[in-house]
Structure 1
């Protein structure tokens, strides 16, 4: 019996039986189709040391695209994933080929062959690849700024289009998740007469907090970035520009919003479904929740329509998806602001990780820069946004102006938990509002003086347009 460090994507019972004969399952990681094993069998495997993950969505071995998508999502950052390629060979050797097992053999053989070919295509090295600096939108106040970015061993990510196929979306997602980071590279930042230097970490990330010594006015500012040791074909060092936003003096409050299942549907509570959705769509074809774009524009504009209230987005999505998320906001005419995402690997996309600490840390970072500004916090009830925002109220009650939670989880136990949080938050004089949709939230915001009343028509119209577009797309 042999051991293997790679993960195993198991689609059929025949594949599992073959795997059990050839691999030490006590040291294996299995990704199983739902219903493939009984609960007691899974329990015994886990007791023996096997890491067992039951996928939330069934992968059909007859559908190559589903197989290739699942394969890319379960494989490790290096190496491959096993996809039942040895089933037919093992059964033929034993002489146990029956009509039923013959069908399983064909399914396993075709799935394995297709997935192997897909990996060969995706792993094929590109000629002329160059380093690419990816600066993220930063933020600051009148006296200091914060900016983050990443250095990758990639020339560029191809821009995605409205008519991209599922395969093209899958390849684009894969390239982003598997981009090769450049560690320990020198980075020099120049801003407002101040120069700082740092090095990229193991993930290729770098960040700067710069206090230039001169008062900064509201608006967008540019930080010049240079990578002295990474020369371009012309012999000059690699350069990039990071955009940093300082809120305008007219800003009356700030907005901190989640993205997943708040701005757009991602089904973030189901990691495999979320990943498959990302693989099948792109920033052109994904749509926001109905009315969100107009509601966020109204919050950005404020009562006077010219407050220019700053937007911040805090999400558990990986930094790899930063570009598509910014493109999505721009295409949907949702006010763009700094995105604070999470450092994740391909394997972690499938895991249901504790993400509360990440969001809370990033919100704390924002509040630290704006101690005199109040914020409207927007999230959903699917994961931990209500609990995270309640903790923000506990720590910084003077910094929270309002909390809006989109109700996406009808489970009675979840509703009871939200009621308890509403009661706790209300005791501080702050409202935690559970909203069924953007029109409800916008109506409440107008009544509370957060947005202009005449913007409600735009939110309702935006919702109707979204509903019409969805009906046309589905043929309803």
Structure 2
């Protein structure tokens, strides 16, 4: 009965979306279309990323002086999407091409593979994207370029980090607080936890002081916030990297998107599969099952996790966190519960993963906040 109901509701949703797009095209409400690619990653033979084709709402970048109303309008535009299904997109990199078709929500998935191996001279490489089907008459060719990170040399480890309440305080465990900060703030007004930028930069540089250790950000935030989160990372000088977010809408199988646990575990394990030559440092918080998810990853990929840092934001979870900590220890992985970023950085320095200059940068940042 539940499946029949969901199938019926989903069919109604798609019909309404199709009608909206039909009227939007004929009434001139959709004037421009964009390919919105999401940063990808790969290895020496494979590249993976997602993207979306939708109406270009012209959101643009934010400024520190933007009003709360302007922030709200931009956030509304991010969620009031006009997705375009059934359109073909061609991806091309070093002579290898793939044509994919957008799904019911306008998303597409690209998996480029070169059995002979990519010719690489940089960690970040550009994949060319072209929209082959444009429903707008006499429109210019829609193109985009998507940066993908390929760790082809000099990478000591990768870092996978949560975002909400790990990098930035959001009140993810308090729904009203989270909605308020999301809809009325912007990338400049939202501030990360103290010294996160300096610590992540130190991990990115590693022990050899080369910006080579890749970062991956896995969050339960919706894809609608992709440009917002990307701008946030750039504004606060946090190492760029692929963001693995999720779709929060009604689907054929469920009324809402899957659980935080299911989504995050799937994304982390996909990263482990593609980046099979890397070991990882995992960073999260105690508010949304990150420790439990990382424990499962350790079980599924023995020997691949170097360390787990968990920002301890909820004292009520103390007993549960200590139990998980013990389980990880039995599997040969240390989990450290941290109250501030400096604790994690000092541990990473002791283990030889970052340079002492990283600690100095963190202390300088703390002094600024203490003044």
Cα deviation for residue 78 of structure 1 reads: 12
SS at match of 1:167: helix
Is the contact made by 2:249 and 2:257 (CA closer than 8 Å) also made in structure 1? Answer: no
Cα deviation for residue 126 of structure 1 reads: 8.4
Could you tell me which residue of structure 1 aligns to residue 253 of structure 2? Answer: none
SS at match of 2:159: strand
Cα deviation for residue 399 of structure 1 reads: 1.0
Could you tell me which residue of structure 2 aligns to residue 276 of structure 1? Answer: 180
Alignment equivalent of 1:448, drawn from 346, 351, 364 = 351
* 1:8-63 deviation line (CA, Å, top 9, x unaligned): xxxxxxxxxxxxxxxxxxxxxxxxxxxxxxxxxxxxxxxxxxxxxxxxxxxxxxxx
Cα deviation for residue 428 of structure 1 reads: 1.8
Partners of 1:231 and 1:464 in 2: how far apart?
56
- RMSD (CA atoms): 2.3
Partners of 1:353 and 1:271 in 2: how far apart?
17
Could you tell me which residue of structure 1 aligns to residue 37 of structure 2? Answer: 135
Partners of 1:294 and 1:234 in 2: how far apart?
48
Matched, 1:405 2:307: no
Cα deviation for residue 246 of structure 1 reads: 0.4
Matched, 1:459 2:354: no
Matched, 1:388 2:318: no
SS at match of 1:256: strand
Cα deviation for residue 457 of structure 1 reads: 1.2
Change (3 A) 1:464 1:345: farther
Q: How does 1:234-273 map to 2 (within 5 A)?
A: 235-273=139-177
Matched, 1:429 2:332: yes
Cα deviation for residue 133 of structure 1 reads: 1.1
SS at match of 1:303: helix
Is the contact made by 2:43 and 2:152 (CA closer than 8 Å) also made in structure 1? Answer: no
Alignment equivalent of 1:177, drawn from 60, 79, 83 = 79
* 1:103-147 deviation line (CA, Å, top 9, x unaligned): xxxxxxxxxxxxxxxxxxxxxx98663111101100000011002
Partners of 2:140 and 2:28 in 1: how far apart?
23
Q: Any gaps of 5 or more consecutive residues in structure 1?
A: 1-75, 80-124, 469-476
Deviates more, 1:364-373 or 1:137-146: 364-373
Is the contact made by 2:310 and 2:337 (CA closer than 8 Å) also made in structure 1? Answer: yes
TM-score, normalized by length of structure 2?
0.87
Could you tell me which residue of structure 2 aligns to residue 154 of structure 1? Answer: 56
Q: How does 1:215-364 map to 2 (within 5 A)?
A: 215-216=117-118, 217=120, 218-230=122-134, 235-306=139-210, 308-345=212-249, 354-364=259-269
Cα deviation for residue 235 of structure 1 reads: 4.4
Q: Any gaps of 5 or more consecutive residues in structure 2?
A: 1-12, 17-26, 251-255
Cα deviation for residue 453 of structure 1 reads: 2.2
Alignment equivalent of 2:115, drawn from 203, 213, 218 = 213
Cα deviation for residue 232 of structure 1 reads: 6.5
Cα deviation for residue 198 of structure 1 reads: 1.3
SS at match of 1:250: coil
Change (3 A) 1:292 1:77: farther
Partners of 1:419 and 1:352 in 2: how far apart?
30
Q: How does 1:22-101 map to 2 (within 5 A)?
A: none
SS at match of 1:230: coil
Change (3 A) 1:128 1:307: closer
SS at match of 1:139: strand
Partners of 1:143 and 1:460 in 2: how far apart?
41
Change (3 A) 1:352 1:128: closer
Larger radius of gyration: 1
TM-score, normalized by length of structure 1?
0.68
**How many pairs are equivalent?**
343
Is the contact made by 1:136 and 1:338 (CA closer than 8 Å) also made in structure 2? Answer: yes
Partners of 1:133 and 1:439 in 2: how far apart?
40
Could you tell me which residue of structure 2 aligns to residue 106 of structure 1? Answer: none
